[in-house]
Structure formats: structure tokens, C-alpha cells
Amino acid sequence: MSYPYQIKSLEEYKAAWKKSVEEPEHFWADIASNFHWYKKWDKVVDWNFTEPSIKWFEGGKVNITYNCLDRHLVDKADQPAIIWEPNDPNDHHRILTYAQLHEKVVQFSNVLKNNGVKKGDRVCIYMGMIPELAIAVLACARVGAIHSVIFGGFSAQSISDRLQDAQAVFIITCDGAFRGAKDIPLKSVIDDALVNCAFVKRVIVYTHTRTAVSMIKGRDVWWEDEVRKVETAGNPDFPAEVMDAEDPLFILYTSGSTGKPKGVVHACAGYMVYTNYTFVNVFQYQPKEIHFCTADIGWITGHSYIVYGPLSAGATTLMFEGIPTYPDAGRFWDIVDKYKVNILYTAPTAIRSLMAFGLDPLKNKDLSSLRVLGTVGEPINEEAWHWYDEHIGKKKCPIVDTWWQTETGGVLISNLAGITPAKPSFATLPMPGVEPILLDEKGNEITENNVTGNLCIKSPWPSTIRTTYGDHERCRTNYFATYENLYFTGDGAYRDENGFYRITGRVDDVLNVSGHRIGTAEVENAINMHAGVVESAVVGYPHDVKGQGIYAFVIYSGTHGTPEMVKKDITATVSRIIGPIAKPDKIQLVSGLPKTRSGKIMRRILRKIAEGELDKIGDTTTLLDPAIVEEIKKGKV
Ligand code: WT7
């Protein structure tokens, strides 16, 4: 049985998967031949997980923006590439055709060049969800610079840490961003970040909200002025830079179980091939369809399924600046209706928050254009799954539950819309090229079904993480050292009698708050920076809308204000150090923490308390001071 690029039946899926694991080189060579290469690769894949060293399409020469833009100019020049819906529904929307997007990316590539950006340079992008963000990303890739997009919810301190880690000397930002009723002063956050980053040479500022900004002579320039210079010079062409397959394409920082975020690095060719292949297959994209992914480009979902996957497939991608509840909880449905969206890809947390508004916001909204629904970011509970199915998909749209990670670049486990079976709350089956396995505590493979274990992947797929920027050893210890010769995901999973996977959640100290990944150690570090805080311990607890909420137990010795004021000060500190996205939902001031005799905090106990399972705390006799548990139980917030 053979299979096409776009899998069309369960049998074809099985044939593709079988071929992909038995003859990965043949399989991926077939898939990769659907792209434009300046030069074909010498070797499809070369890898070992011990260093780790993972190389795909080595010897190949390629540029991802050529594949996203130039090659579509022949037959899709006038087709919308990006549809942009502003935060305020009364403002004008924008549509950029492939020809227009290409022109703007070429123009901005020239701006980058004129400002000294060269192949291999790191460029930090800190912008709201406007088309210029996609243009900046694509222009970096076109000139061969490594972009590092930072989500707008991160603080000046977080930005400065990332700038230093990546040694990024260029920044692209805008004056401000609109998010619901808020106006976020992005440039001013950048200015604060740069107090500690004198190595930054150039900040390019796009005007969006027209908030007052301080423009520093010699360092800061306006995007519009720079574009005008390129126009005055007659809009010269900028042929895409010829990149080696394994050249880094971007860095994206993500939280882990230590205090410091890791710069996940993806490589040009493998990332391009895999995001395209998964986009086309998971969503079963059809020509001319409108794909609406509600994520922010500051996260991997936006990189892979707003920008690179859809554009490399010649799709029309819809970018939305705002939030689901502004000006009211019907906003997503207005957008679906207005543009006749065909594919809607969102997060369980968004579905749950909209469910809470009931069915009123759906009245008089025509959702009949929808063909496929998707979810990503966290396990979806059955109630949310059924609501999505009944009220949004009207029981006619397959729902794809896509499991993946920043490190995996693209979807690893998911059903294929309408092609392979769905099962509520199950991500189901692996994509071609992906070999999941489950391991027990001792590191032995569990081969039976109806079991739970730690989820690992046996062999590389093209968009496997290549390294953590500037610290390869960290990449090895984090992902490739827990189990020999395996990529460890950090997630637990259950496998049912049909071999379908259900992701049960993180097994490390990483929280998933509204689909955002936050390390408990990072939050603890931030809390501990507050004067008067002696020690803290952060755990997650089930939250109706966010999936997980952040619960902080804090030993505070200061004397400054009432406990309520102290809690507000601690929250402000976290916001200042990491950003508003990491603010604890609950803070409990305690006089001590449950510790073993060797001084280790017993998080298991704190987790039970935070979850409200006060009678399931278990044995506390090994604790240094068992009485503290009673005190903490009494003070639970
Ligand atoms: C973690 C990765 C991948 C894009 C968004 C998040 C959790 C992701 C699912 C899903 C259950 C999921 C996992 C994973 N996760 N998708 N469909 N079902 N859990 O990317 O920030 O790198 O987080 O999100 O725990 O490890 P990320």
C-alpha cells in the first residue's frame, strides 16, 4: 500500500507510519522532495541521542521563506496569505496577499541588512499580534538571522535574561500592543530591559498604538523611516539567503524544572519539512481554506501553525490581535462568521473560559464554514471536548487533539482530521515518523496496553530540538539523559487497548497554566527575590479555567504591612521578575515548610494540600517537623 503526501484514509496512515519507521530515510526523502531546495541533501538523517547529535537533510541548501513565499508567487500571488483581525472590531482589518507579503518581507529584509543584521545574528522580536510580527519573523529567516520571539507577557527582566543568553544585538518591537481593554507599552518594557544590555546596537520600532516612546539617538530607529529609505532606493530585491539544512532557524525560550529558561533551537530544513507535513495532514488542509490558530506567535504554536506551517503550504492564515472575551465572549464566533473560517485551532483553556458564558454569545453566529476543530497546549477534559463538538462543530467537525512541545517543533501525537479516529481526551496515534514508548519508574519499557508510564520517543523526527542555545550539555541532561537512547518528553501518558495515547500531564516540576508552561523553580526564584521572603515552595492545583493554577507557600519574616499587602507585594515582584503570566493564583503565608531530615521540601504533601485533598496526605513521620503540616492544612487558601 502506498501513501500520498496528504494521507487520505486510515489504511494510508498505517502504510505511511509503517514505512516511516522501517525506512525513515526513504520516507522523509519522499516528503522533503516536495520543497524547493537550492541543492538536495547528501544524507537524510544522521543521529545519536547520546551527545545528542541530530542532523536532517545534511548537505542540503534551503531557505524557509523561499518555500513560504517565493514559490507560491506563480499560482497564489493574489491569494490572501495573512488575514489580520484587529483587537478592536471597529478598526480596519488587513489582508496581505502572497505577493504583498512577499514584497513586505523583501523590503524588511533590506531594512535588516541596512541596519547591519547578518546571517547567524540573533534578533529578538517583542511585538504584539500584528502582521509586522510575521513580517519580522519571515525577514529574519530570509536573511539567515536567528529570531528569538519573546511573548508580550514577559517582563523587562525576562527579556534582558534572554537577550544576554542569546547575545542578541538587534531588537524589533513596536510602541505598544492592544490586548482587550489593555494597551501594553512594549517599547517601554524594552527600554527597561536594555538598562542591563548595553551590547544591543539597534532597536527597530513599529508604530501601532502610537503610545509615547523614548527613542534613543544612535540606537533606536522607526520601522517606517527605515522602510521609506528602502523605497527611496528603488525597493531592491533581496534574494533569500542560501542556508545549510542544519543552520539554526530560531531560538524560543521555554521553562523547565530549573530556574532558568532554556533557549530551544530549531534547524532550518527539518523544521520546515515537519511543520508543513503535520499542518497538511493533521488539519487536512484544502486549497483556499482559511486557517485560524488563536495562539500568539510568541509561543511555538504560533511559530509552527500561524506562520511557517500554513505559509509553506500556501494556506491562508488568520492572525487575531485580541482576546476571546473582548469586546464580548462572542469574539471568536464573530471572526469565524466574518471570514468564513474553515479550521479553528485553539486551547482547552480558551474553550473552558468561553463555556462559562453559556450559549448566548453563539446566538446568530454562522459557524457553518467550520470543517475542522483543533486543540493544543494541555489535556482537554471531556466536558470541554463535548461542548466544542456540539456547540462549535455542531457534531460535524472532527476535533484533532494535538500533543507536542516547544522542543518537538511540530505535532507528534494527534488524530488526522476525519481520517483517523478521534477519542475525547486522547491525542490518539503518533504522526508518521514518530515512535512513542512508555517507561516505568525503573526505566523499563512497558509494552502492554491499558497502562500509564513516562512518555519517550525512540528516534528523531525532522523537527527534534537540536540544542539549547549556548549550553548543549543542558539539552542532553534535560531530554536525553533520563533514559538511555530516548528523548524524554517530561509528560506522562496512558495507552489504551487500541494503542491510543492520552497525555496525563507533566511528571516534572513544570506547570501548565492556561496552556503556558511555567517552571515552579522559576516562580520560586522570583518570589524569593522579594525582601522579607525567607523561602517559598510553588506547586500547581487544578483550576477550572486555567487547567492548573499556581499555589505558593511562602515563609515571610518581614514586618511591612498586613498579610494581604504582603501577598500583593509578592505578586508584584513575580510580575516584575517574570511577567504577569506567572503571577500566583494563591499565596499562603506559612511559618515553615514540610521538609525531610535532609532538608528536601516534600512537594507531594504541598500538592495534596493545594489540591484540597487534606485527608490524603499520607505518611508524615519522616518529616523534620510533622506539626507544620497541620498548621499549613489549617491555613489553606
Ligand atoms: C507541554 C508543552 C505544543 C504547543 C503548546 C505548548 C502539554 C501540549 C497537549 C495536548 C495534553 C498537551 C504537555 C507538553 N501539552 N499539547 N494536546 N494534550 N497535553 O507547548 O509550552 O512547549 O508545552 O504542553 O504537557 O509537554 P509547550
C-alpha Rg value of the chain to the nearest Å: 24
Pairwise CA distance, residues 13 & 19, whole Å: 10
Q: Is the CB of 490 under 6 A from ligand 1?
A: yes
Q: Is 226 in the pocket of ligand 1 (CB under 6 A)?
A: no
Cell of 186: 512594549
Mean pLDDT across the chain: 97
Which phi and psi (to 5°) does residue 19 adopt?
A: -60, -40
Distance CA 574, CA 591 (A): 21
**Angle ∠(160,165,108) on CA atoms, nearest 5:** 75
Nearest CA to ligand 1 atom 3: 405
404 touches ligand 1 (CB under 6 Å): yes
Confidence of residue 258 (pLDDT cuts 50, 70, 90): confident
Q: Which atom of ligand 1 is nearest to the CA of 414?
A: 17
d(CA 581, CA 274): 30
State the cell numbers at 102. 512577499
Residue type, 194: L
Condensed to tens digits (0 to 9), the pLDDT of residues 459-483 reads 999 999 999 999 999 999 999 999 9
The two beta strands, 170-174 and 202-206, are: parallel
Q: Which of 80, 129, 91, 100 is nearest to 341 (CA)?
A: 80
Residues of the chain above pLDDT 90, percent: 96
Predicted confidence (pLDDT) per residue in 414-433, tens digit: 999 999 999 999 999 999 99
What's residue 559's pLDDT? 83
Distance 627 CA to ligand 1 centre (A): 38
- Considering only the C-alpha atoms of the chain, give the largest distance between any 2 of them, rounded to a whole number of Å: 78
CB-based contact 451:39 (threshold 8 Å): no
For the chain, give the percent of residues with pLDDT over 70. Answer: 100
Check if 399 has its Cβ closer than 6 Å to any atom of ligand 1: no
Residue 147 and residue 116 in contact, taking contact as beta carbons nearer than 8 Å: no
What is the 8-class DSSP label of residue 622? T
pLDDT tens, residue by residue, 18-73: 999 999 999 999 999 999 999 999 999 999 999 999 999 999 999 999 999 999 99
Closest Cα to atom 23 of ligand 1: 405
Beta bridge partners of 491: 506
- 176 contacts 154 by C-beta, under 8 angstroms: no
- For 379-388, the pLDDT digits (tens) are 999 999 999 9
What's the DSSP call for residue 612? Answer: T
401 lines ligand 1 (CB under 6 A): yes
Candidate of 296, 306, 403 to mutate for ligand 1, largest count of ligand atoms within 8 Å of Cβ: 403
Q: Tell me, in angstroms, the distance from the centre of ligand 1 to residue 354's CA.
A: 20
Residue 353 in this model has a pLDDT that exceeds 90 = yes
Residue burial 436-455, b: 16+ Cβ < 10 Å; e: rest: bbbbeeeeeeeeeeeeebbb
Report the relative pairing of strands 533-543 and 516-519 from DSSP bridges.
unpaired
Q: One-letter amino acid identity for 82? A: I
Q: Report which ligand 1 atom has the smallest distance to the Cα of 295.
A: 5
Q: Which residues contact 294 (CB under 8 A, 6 or more apart)?
A: 320, 324, 332, 344, 345, 346, 347, 350
Q: What is the pLDDT of residue 2?
A: 78
Return the pLDDT at 476.
98
- Asked if residue 388 has its Cβ within 6 Å of ligand 1, the reply is no
HEC readout, 425-458 = CECECECCCCCEEEECCCCCEECCCCEEEEEEEC
Instruction: Give the residue from 471, 116, 403 showing the smallest Cα distance to 261.
Output: 471
Distance CA(56)–CA(47), nearest Å, equals 8
d(CA 250, CA 263): 9
Peptide bond into 421 cis (omega under 30): no
DSSP string covering 133-146: HHHHHHHHHHHT-E
Kindly give the distance from the C-alpha atom of residue 212 to the centroid of ligand 1, in angstroms, as a whole number. Answer: 37
How many degrees, rounded to 5, is the angle at CA 171 between CA 82 and CA 131? 10
Name which of 379, 144, 127, 361 is nearest 240 in CA terms.
Answer: 144
Cβ(427) to ligand 1 under 6 A? yes
Taking Cα atoms as reference points, which of 302, 301, 323, 310 lies closest to residue 85?
Answer: 323
Name the residue among 99, 604, 490, 82 with its Cα closest to residue 307.
82
| Whether the CB of 374 sits within 6 Å of ligand 1 | no
Please return the burial class of 619, using the count of CB atoms within 10 Å of its CB with bins 0-12, 13-18 and 19+: exposed
Q: Which three cell numbers stand for residue 172?
A: 524589533
Residue 467 and residue 407 in contact, taking contact as beta carbons nearer than 8 Å: no
- The pick from 151, 352, 376, 400 for probing ligand 1's pocket by mutation, whose C-beta has the most ligand atoms within 8 angstroms, reads 376
Write down all domains in the chain, each with its CATH number in brackets.
20-66+267-506 (3.40.50.12780), 102-244 (3.40.50.980), 511-634 (3.30.300.30)
Residue 135 has pLDDT above 80, yes or no: yes
**Three-state secondary-structure class, residue 624:** coil
User: What pLDDT, on a 0 to 100 scale, did the predictor assign at position 142?
Assistant: 99
As beta bridge partners, residue 513 has 516, 547
464 lines ligand 1 (CB under 6 A): no
Task: Specify the pairing of strand 61-62 against strand 243-244.
Answer: antiparallel
Compute the distance from residue 511 Cα to the ligand 1 centre, in Å.
11
Task: State in Å: Cα 73 to ligand 1 middle.
Answer: 34
Residues with Cβ within 8 Å of residue 410, at least 6 apart in sequence: 271, 274, 275, 277, 278, 279, 304, 309, 404, 431, 461, 463
What would the 3-class secondary structure string for 563-590 be? HHHHHHHHHHHHHHHCCHHHCCCEEEEE
Best substitution site from 274, 404, 516 to test ligand 1's pocket, by max atoms within 8 Å of Cβ? 404
Q: How many CB atoms lie within 10 A of CB 329?
A: 18
389-413: average pLDDT: 98
Query: How far lies 231's CA from each of 110, 207, 381, in Å?
Result: 10, 18, 52
Is the C-beta atom of 541 inside 6 A of ligand 1?
no
Which stretch of DSSP H or E encloses residue 350?
Answer: helix 348-355
All three cell numbers of 449, joined, read 496496553
Residue nearest to atom 11 of ligand 1 (CA): 379
pLDDT tens for 69-100 read 999 999 999 999 999 999 999 999 999 999 99
- Predicted local distance difference test score (pLDDT) of residue 1: 58
Q: Express each pLDDT in 182-225 by its tens digit.
A: 999 999 999 999 998 999 999 999 999 999 999 999 999 999 99
Taking the mean position of all CA atoms in its chain, how far away is CA 294? Answer: 12
Q: Quick one: which atom of ligand 1 is closest to the CA of 516?
A: 21
Alpha carbon 462 to its chain centroid, in Å, reads 18
CA-503 nearest atom, ligand 1: 11
Q: Is 97 close to ligand 1, i.e. is its CB under 6 Å away? A: no
Q: How far apart are CA 256 and CA 512, in angstroms?
A: 11
Determine the distance separating the centroid of ligand 1 and the alpha carbon of 214, expressed in angstroms: 38
Q: How far apart are CA 636 and CA 191, in angstroms?
A: 40
**Residue whose grid cell is 539544512:** 245
Q: What pLDDT digit, counting tens, does each position of 285-309 carry?
A: 999 999 999 999 999 999 999 999 9
Phi-psi region of 170 (alpha: psi -120 to 50; beta: other; left: phi over 0): beta
**Which one, of 593, 587, 594, lies nearest residue 636 by Cα?**
587
Cell numbers describing residue 82: 495573512
Grid cell 524588511 in the structure block, residue: 108
